[in-house]
Structure 1
Amino acid sequence: MSMLRILICFVFLFPTKGFAAWIDSLRLSDALQSNMVIQQNKPFKVWGKAEPGQKIAIHADWLPASAEVYADTNGNFIGIIPVPKAAEGDFTPHRIRIVAGDEQIELDNLLIGDVWVCSGQSNMQFSVREMTGSEQVISGADQPPIRLLNVALNFSDTPLENMKGTWQVCSPTSVRDFSAVGYSFGKKLFDRLNIPIGLVFTGIGASSVQAYIPKGDLANDTMLNKAYLQPYLADPKSKEQIDGGFTFEKVMRPYLLYNAMVHPLINLSIRGFIWYQGEANHLERESYVRATQTLIKSWRRNFSQGQLPFYYVQIAPFFHDREDPALAFDAYFREAQVQVANLNNTYMVSTMDVGEAKDLHPKNKKPVGERLAAIALNREYDQLDVVYQGPLVDDVRFEGKKAYVYFTPGTLGTGLQTNDGRPPRFFYVAGNDRIFYPAEAFIDGDRIVVETNKVTHIASVRYAFFNYPVTNLENKEGFPAMPFRTDSWEEGSEGSRH
């Protein structure tokens, strides 16, 4: 039988719906799927496509009545339904049914809990199967109340509505290729809160911060426009047709990843963001701080859910194939990263003690995720008993060949210690000649005493302030002391280091 006869027969069998009826007109956003976690205690958007002007009814099994909306002239619709607060230990599966005429879509096995977006470059992408202790982690990952979504890599010159990726129930199979930091974060929240946790990973290795910022936000900032946007727009590559394939060059281009991998999610109700990125921009300073703060503000604005928490990771120690303690460009970058947290509801964790000096991708990812979770538990979930930061320098007093380092009381936890029982490492001192020497250091109660015979009058103390120190100084809760310097000398103006 010819194709024409088949089509004629189809129309005859279904004459009331017309020739086009065999093509479904009702579609939901790719972000809305069975097995997902619905964000608790917030209005939840159900959005998608239908025939222009058509009425869409949204039935959620926790609501007594359906919500009704109409598709606009372009066929787009957004319905908003209330969602109750999650109850501890309640893992009841729910359903949402969306009906348009005689078409319907049902989402099932939904849980009500908290959704967190995980983003960044390779150290956030680094998978569970690659992390320290992966076999034990994977074998223990049969946790149906945790749900995982990996957003597939894509690039676009214009903002997209669609993405690829499947919401999955957390299991030893599904967790293997998920973000190790993201999963460790989510598992810590689940273990402590006992509510469903949804984790969305959207990122890619080697990517730059500017790749995740909307084009308009780059254009509207003089510094970012000059540093990132205009050089790209002046490059012939900006005129090329963009496809979804990975290249190290393409993940550095401004705004393409935002358009393809963040914008499709902006209608999704979430609890907050975690972010691990910086290696691709590590030679930048002020422009990186501005770019990251712009990213945070733009994401918060576009997700339209207020000042969503944004927790991020300071880059780990790395030697860049040069074992020279005089090289401190990453230390200056880490110092710049601290400034990002000047933005409201934004906090940073350190990885100075769990890095691997000769590996850009340290495998010990569990502490990183759990430290991010500790911030969330204390700051977002009001569990004020949870320690979430390491010793932060407050004051340094100089007395000739000695210096006394004091820390902000709230960062000491229950006291100072080293994780190996040895004296604190990586304290350096300099006189006014700006030549740095390694110094002896020891714990004296809640302070550190630093001393040297190399300098008559100490003018500066620096702690862990070069590219690759893997540190041992921490509080008794296991959070590392933050790197610091007491001087304000311009980068590159120091003398030699001995």
Structure 2
Amino acid sequence: MKKVLFLWFISLSALGNVSLPSILNSNMVLQQQTDLTIWGWADPTEKITVSASWESQPISTTCADNAQWKVTLRTPQAGGPYTITIQGHNKLELTNLLIGEVWLCSGQSNMEMTASGGVRDAQAELPTAYNPNIRFFKIPKRAAEAPQLDVRGQWVVCDSLTLKYFSAVGYFFGKRLQHTLNVPIGLIDMSWGGSYMDTWLPETVAMLYPETRRSAMAMAKVPWAPNKPGVLYNGMVAPITSFPIAGVIWYQGEANRHDAPAYYTLTHALVDTWRGLWQKDFPFYYVQIAPFMYGDKFQTAATRESQTRAMDIPKSGMIVTTDLVDNLKDIHPAYKKEVGNRLANWALTETYGKSVGPYKSPQYRSMQVEGNKIRLTFDHAPDGLMVKGAEVAELEIAGADQVFSKAQGRVKGNTLEVWAEDVKNPVAVRFAFRDAPVPNLFSRDGLPVIPFRTDCWDLGLNANVKP
């Protein structure tokens, strides 16, 4: 009899324990002035009451027959701290909550890299890192065969310890936003070194288009990341799509050099799909892959070309890093502060309407043949171009025979005159169009010119290049 009573007591104590996904916990930052979903699990038919300290009245709901429940709250303008209390058979209290701007930081290793992983300017930040208005949520690596409901992790305040293991690019991006906007910033690090973009998409989407299907089927098997489409979406993206965000910063592409032309379609598919899942037309700012001595002929250059083309996505922007590489033999540049700052300048200008100065790299617009020379014009160089050095580096020019020769260049305002003595009738120019260029052409505002080519000749790409 005593054993029966004991088991009955235990079953009552476990009855209807209301629980929440890990993304909803104390210390989190919530997106301001948006519809916020609070969701979780409990017993079917259990009454759940949610009270937010910024609201005068609680909201109640009844748990569904699948043991899931959710309510929707409206968040106010940036501020805090606040609390949220969830009452069912048990009581949960989320404390030290802030409301501000929440950004998702995603991609592969250059987004994942931390102070502990060798990022030198992030290491220099550690002694003075404490900022209670910046919060981190790191999503652990998890691949799954089906969409998951939860991820592990917890929200933490930015300090010397937590920054040490958080995305350096994400931190510098968030720090600049927090300083300029003077609102709390929440950063979610959802990255996996060496990951293919194909794996961050639902499998049905990755296999939907001929280009993306070709890319997905050609992903090489590597020991550091999965090569099955959809598995990172299932394990890391799907569980947080109910959590409102302001936008996404993205640093990825090195792994997708195996099919550079497909990267353009993949990027469109990723942005469209994620925006649909979050039900928000959020901004998407990304980093063009940095120079590195891969040893290929055109795969890397073509990947950068696809990334440049993808700027036709509405509310997107790309930063260039050709001037931010300290070692061409290291795929992981050791400095990330300027990367984060350049991404932040896009967000501050385009998303938040702040005037922070020039933020777009000069981009090739058109060409004009003038005798034995070609004149190039550029967008986003209002004060003209400049050369850091005696002569313009990384220029090539070709005639109709498609044989490129090293070229000379002369800056005239926001145009560039290009020629080579052995090319009498030029028809095409390429700039920094290789795996590890060291270009020195900038806007007078100090932003590097985007690598480009004026031709559309077949590059003879090998679709089986290993990352």
Match of 1:240 in 2: none
Q: CA deviation at 1:431?
A: 1.8
Q: Does 1:8 align with 2:10?
A: no
Distance 2:236 2:385 in 1: 42
Pick from 409, 414, 418: which aligns with 1:446?
414
> Is residue 116 of structure 1 aligned with residue 86 of structure 2?
no
Q: 1-side partners of 2:345 and 2:93: how far apart? A: 36
Preserved contact between residue 260 and residue 300 of structure 2 (Cα < 8 Å)? no
Q: Which amino acid aligns with 2:143?
A: F
Q: 1:227 to 1:475 in 2, by over 3 A?
A: closer
The alignment partner of 2:340 has SS state of: helix
Gap change, CA 1:450 and 1:168, over 3 Å in 2: same
The CA distance in 1 between the partners of 2:193 and 2:448, in whole Å, is: 26
Deviation at 1:7, TM superposition (A): 7.0
Contact 1:283 1:330 in 2 (8 A): no
Give yes or no for the alignment of 1:437 onto 2:411. no
More displaced 10-residue stretch of structure 1: 260-269 or 330-339? 330-339
* Aligned residue in 1 for 2:314: 344
Change (3 A) 1:259 1:296: same
Distance 1:349 1:296 in 2: 17
Quote the offset at 1:352 in angstroms. 1.5
Correspondence for 2:464: none
Closer, same or farther in 2 for the Cα pair 1:110/1:282, shift >3 Å? Answer: same
Q: Please, which runs of 5 or more residues in structure 1 have no aligned partner?
A: 238-246, 494-498
Q: Do the aligned residues in 2 keep the contact of 1:399 with 1:458 (CA within 8 Å)? A: no
1:23 offset after TM fit, Å? Answer: 5.4
The amino acid across from 1:64 in the alignment is S
Alignment pair present for 1:361 and 2:332: yes
Mapped to 2, the partners of 1:157 and 1:278 lie a distance apart of 23
Tell whether the 8 Å contact from 1:39 to 1:271 is kept in structure 2 after alignment.
yes
Paired residue for 2:238, among 263, 268, 272?
263
Moved more, 452-461 or 262-271: 452-461
Structure 1 residue 283, shift from structure 2 partner: 2.7
Aligned to 1:386: 357
Deviation at 1:428, TM superposition (A): 1.0
**Aligned pair 1:332/2:302, yes or no?**
yes
User: Does 1:308 pair with 2:282?
Assistant: yes
- Contact residue 215 and residue 259 of structure 2 kept, 8 A: no
1:190–1:196 Cα contact (<8 Å) kept: yes
- The equivalent of 1:244 in structure 2 is none
Alignment of 1:78-97 (within 5 A): 78-86=70-78, 90=79, 92-97=80-85
d(CA) in 2 for partners of 1:181 and 1:135?
Answer: 12
C-alpha contact 2:194 2:225 (8 A) present in aligned 1:
no
Structure 2 equivalent of residue 205 of structure 1? 193
Letter in 2 for 1:126: M
TM alignment of 1:10-89, pairs within 5 A: 11=8, 19-22=11-14, 25-86=17-78
Structure 2: how far apart are the matches of 1:218 and 1:478? 38
Correspondence for 1:243:
none
Q: Secondary structure at the match of 1:341?
A: helix
CA apart distance, 1:32: 0.3
Measure how far apart 1:135 and its partner are: 3.1
Query: Could you tell me how far 1:226 is from its partner in structure 2?
Result: 5.1
Question: Does the aligned pair in 2 maintain the 1:113–1:195 contact within 8 Å?
Answer: yes
* Cα displacement string for residues 413-470 of structure 1 (whole angstroms, at most 9, x for unaligned residues): 543223x444321111112222212122232222222232121122211111111102
Cα pair distance change 1:413/1:184, threshold 3 Å: farther
CA contact under 8 A between 1:292 and 1:340: conserved in structure 2?
yes
Which of 172-181 and 430-439 deviates more? 430-439
Cα distance change of structure 1 residues 291 and 58 upon mapping to structure 2, 3 Å threshold = same
- Listed as ranges, the matches of 1:73-472 within 5 Å are 73-86=65-78, 90=79, 92-101=80-89, 103-129=90-116, 130-225=118-213, 227-228=215-216, 248=223, 250-304=225-279, 306-321=280-295, 327-355=297-325, 356-408=327-379, 411-418=380-387, 420-472=388-440
1:353 CA drift (Å): 1.5
Q: Report if the CA contact (8 A) 1:213-1:295 is conserved.
A: yes
RMSD: 2.3
Letter in 2 for 1:43: D
Instruction: Letter of the 1:255 partner, please give it.
Output: G
When residues 6 and 454 of structure 1 are mapped into structure 2, their CA distance, relative to the original with a 3 A threshold, is farther
Shift in alpha-carbon separation, 1:46–1:289, aligned structure 2, 3 A: same
1:394–1:52 Cα change, 3 Å: same
Q: SS state of the match for residue 87, structure 2?
A: strand
* Contact 2:122 2:336 (8 Å CA) reproduced: no
Q: Which runs of 5+ in 2 are unaligned?
A: 462-467
Verify the 8 A CA contact 2:15 2:43 in the aligned structure 1.
no
The 3 A distance-change label for structure 1 pair 7 and 319 is farther
Matched residue pairs, number?
A: 459
Check conservation: 2:83, 2:97, Cα contact below 8 A.
yes
Tell me by how many angstroms 1:365 deviates. 1.4
Q: Percent identity?
A: 34
Which of 457, 463, 476 does residue 444 from structure 2 map onto?
A: 476
Q: Distance in 2 between matches of 1:359 and 1:301?
A: 36
Q: CA contact under 8 A between 2:207 and 2:216: conserved in structure 1?
A: no
Residue type of the partner of 2:47? K
Instruction: Tell me how far apart the structure 1 counterparts of residues 423 and 459 of structure 2 sit (CA, whole Å).
Output: 21
State the alpha-carbon separation in 2 of the partners of residues 226 and 328 from structure 1: 19
8 Å Cα contact 1:34-1:107 kept in structure 2 = yes
CA distance in structure 2 between the aligned counterparts of 1:447 and 1:426, rounded to whole angstroms: 16
Q: What CA distance in whole angstroms lies between the structure 1 residues aligned with 2:169 and 2:197?
A: 18
2:5 maps to amino acid: I
SS at 1:480 equivalent: coil
Determine the C-alpha separation between the residues in 1 that align with 2:378 and 2:344. 23
- Measure how far apart 1:54 and its partner are: 1.5
SS of aligned partner of 1:128: coil
Label 1:21 to 1:455 Cα distance change in 2 as closer, same or farther (>3 A): same
Q: Tell me the alpha carbon deviations over residues 18-39 of structure 1, each in whole angstroms, 9 at most, x when there is no partner.
A: 7342356200111101011011
* Structure-2 separation of matches of 1:422 and 1:61: 63
For the residue of structure 1 that corresponds to 2:459, the secondary structure is: coil
